[in-house]
Amino acid sequence: MSEFIIKNGRVFDPVQGIKGDKKDIAVKDGKIVDKIGSGAKVIDAKDKTVMAGALEIHAHVAGPKVNAGRWYRPEDKHFDSHKTAGITRIEGGKSIPTVFKTGYEYARMGFTFAMEAAMPPLYARHVHEEIHDTPIIDEAALPVFGNNWFILEYLKNQEIENTAAYIAWILRQTKGYGVKCVNPGGTEAWAWGLNCLTIHDPVPYFDITPAEIIKGLIAANEYLGLPHSMHLHQNDLGNPGNYKTTIDSLKIAEGVKANNKFGREQVLHSTHLQFHAYKGTNWGDFESGAKEVMDYVNKQKNLTIDTGNVTLDETTTMTADGPFEHHLHGLNHLKWFNVDVELETAAGIVPFIYDPANAVFCSQWAVGLEIPLYAKDPMRCFITTDHPNAGPFTRYPRVYSWLMSKKTRDALLNGFKKADKVIGATNLANMDREITLYELAAMTRAGPAKALGLAKDYGGLAPGMNADIAIYNINPDKFPSDGAAIEKAFAQVSWLFKDGKICVEDGKVVDMGHKKTFWVDAKVNENKQVMHDIKEKFLRYYSVNENNYPVPESYAPHQHIISVDATQA
């Protein structure tokens, strides 16, 4: 059955400017079409909300540190290893779901795409093995560059063309999607136990600053014209007063124009901004810096951000910001996992309990909500939890309920043990805005798709686009005032279409679909210098041979390759 007509649904599609009109959507052979024959199967979406499938722009769902998090936390499966009747495999893991659970849960919530936020190139084969085993949702992965020896050396000499050639080579070797930059310079410093906390702290030996790394990677990304922009996890994550470093970092993008054929307008995507929007000097006088940061973001049209909402759960932090994790372990003394990766990056993992009795964690929760509530353009502000760092992705419906219902979030805010302290340190209590369904569609579908350069086929419901469609049991005219009801409706779709096939029905997985691995193949002019440098470094410094570095084709049996021609640049 490949023809469907979704009738009488209330459509929310920022791509076409549809704000809840009753409109039929026709599906044929995996695409959304204008018209359909009478033989099409009817899906009755009366009084239901219809949106495009959501796109996760930043989550840690596949790869070596994700898996280390899984197996070193057997307690994460406590009371959470189960099998639903039907075609699904055993699923488990509260904060770091197994790959089967990851695919199923995203699909149950109406997601059709997820971006693995950080792929260490040396471990790319592992990332792709997990992506291969994750059912239903399309996936891609961002290789990390901000502490890579090639990048540090090229950018020190401001060799943008060489940087771009190396990036293109890595994207091809690792089947990667774009340019991720985590704690620029600081993670290389961490290989000696050090860090870079401001954008001007030089990296030991390489003698380049984070500012230069950020600037250079933005330039290389635009030189290549990649579908996505440079994707940045700023220095000094999680520390009081870090909002200054954040704004300093974002300023580096001023005046830079996006260069690409995919409709992308931003040149810098700043991720999990909540962790980077703190005022104060210590945990005692800690305050929200969300307003200051968002005032800047609102002004700068060439930026996009994602929120990184704290959900007040026990979860697991994991990041390529190795020094941060060591620091966090010093604060909460929970088991610390660390791996430094030769020539490339590092990763750290520490479990974390965002206890709602703690004023600081509640203030972080408030900051995470203030950010989207301050955002003037929902097409540039996306909702994430930096899964699993600020909370598991399965809490997205709860985050939506806080954003869409002041009553719900105020009830939680006022009920905190240290409510007075939290209200005093943040702005949330005075914010009345409630995100609408249309804005939510922008923040979770149309916006991320555009920022990823996928707007032509994903994130919207226009004819010709891919039939990735989520239908929720929410009547826009009778929008629930109860937070729990909002959460429930977003947690279990009535239907999920993926590539025109029904994969989830009434929250139950009914078809595994035909997921694809997305990656970007950027062609550049032949670059003998870079090829020579690659050969050199593999011979002398890497612990694997160059010919064993690439990800073999068999690891990604279904590929969606986006070609970019950067040879004219």
Partner 1 sequence: MPKEVTDVICPFCGTLCDDLVVSVSDDNKTILGVKNACAIGAEKFNHQRQPGRVKRPRMRQADGTYKEITYDEAIDWTAKMLVKSRKTLMYGWASTSCQAMSIGHEIAEKVGGIVDNCATVCHGSSLIAIEDVGVPSCTLGEVKNRADRVIFWGCNPAHAHPRHMSRYSIFPRGFFTVKGHKGRKIYAIDCRYTDTAKCADEFIQVQQGYDYELLNAFRTAARGEWLPDTVGGVPKEKIIEIVEDLKSARFGIIFFGMGLTHSMGRNHNIDIAINLTRDMNDFTKFAIMAMRGHWNVTGSGQVLGWQYGFPYAVDLSRRDQARHQTGETTSVDLLNRNEVEACFYIATDPGAHFPVDAMISSSRKPTVCIDPHINCTTEISDIHIPVALVGVEVGGCAYRMDNVPIETRKVVDPPEGVLTDEELLTKINHRVDELLAAGGA
Q: Which residues bind partner 1 (CB under 8 A)?
A: 62, 64, 66-68, 70-74, 76-77, 81-83, 89-90, 92-93, 96, 98-100, 122-123, 125-126, 129-130, 133, 149, 191-193, 205, 326, 329, 335-343, 349-350, 540-545, 547-548, 552, 555
Residue number with CB closer to partner 1 (287 or 325): 325
Q: How far is CA 285 from CA 288, 290, 354, in A?
A: 10, 15, 18
Closest CB to partner 1 among 396 and 555? 555
Pick between residue 134 and residue 304 the one whose CB is nearest to partner 1: 134
Query: At its nearest, how many Å lie between partner 1 and the CB of residue 199?
Result: 23
Nearer CB in complex with partner 1: 541/567: 541
- Under a CB-based contact definition with an 8 Å cutoff, are residues 305 and 269 in contact? yes
**Least distance to partner 1, CB of residue 454, Å:** 26
Tokens describing residue 407: 């009553």
> Within a 13 Å sphere around the CA of 365, how many CA atoms are in the beta-carbon half?
28
Nearest distance from C-beta of residue 81 to partner 1, angstroms: 4
Taking the C-alpha atoms of residue 319 and residue 139, their distance in angstroms, rounded to an integer, is 19
CB of 219 closer than 8 Å to CB of 229: no
Q: Are 229 and 269 in contact (CB under 8 A)?
A: yes
- Here the tokens at position 307 are 């929120």
The minimum distance between CB 342 and partner 1, in angstroms, equals: 3
Bridge partner list, 318: 349
Nearest of 320, 363, 358, 367 to residue 339 by alpha carbon? 320
- Tokens matching residue 235: 């220095």
Least distance to partner 1, CB of residue 76, Å:
7
- We find the least distance from the C-beta atom of residue 178 to partner 1, in angstroms, to be 22
Report the nearest approach of partner 1 to the CB of residue 60 (Å). 13
Q: Are 227 and 264 in contact (CB under 8 A)?
A: yes
Kindly state the smallest distance separating residue 102's Cβ from partner 1, in Å. Answer: 9
- Residue 390, CA atoms < 13 Å, CB-side half-sphere: 32
DSSP-derived secondary structure for 63-104: SHHHHHHHHT-GGGGTT-EE--SSS---EE-SSS--HHHHHH
Nearer to partner 1, 196 or 349 (CB): 349
Q: Least distance to partner 1 from the beta carbon of 284, Å?
A: 24
Burial of 524 (0-12, 13-18, 19+ CB in 10 A): buried
Residue 346 or 367: which CB sits closer to partner 1?
346
243-251 and 290-299 helices, crossing angle to 10°: 10
Count of residues making up the chain: 569
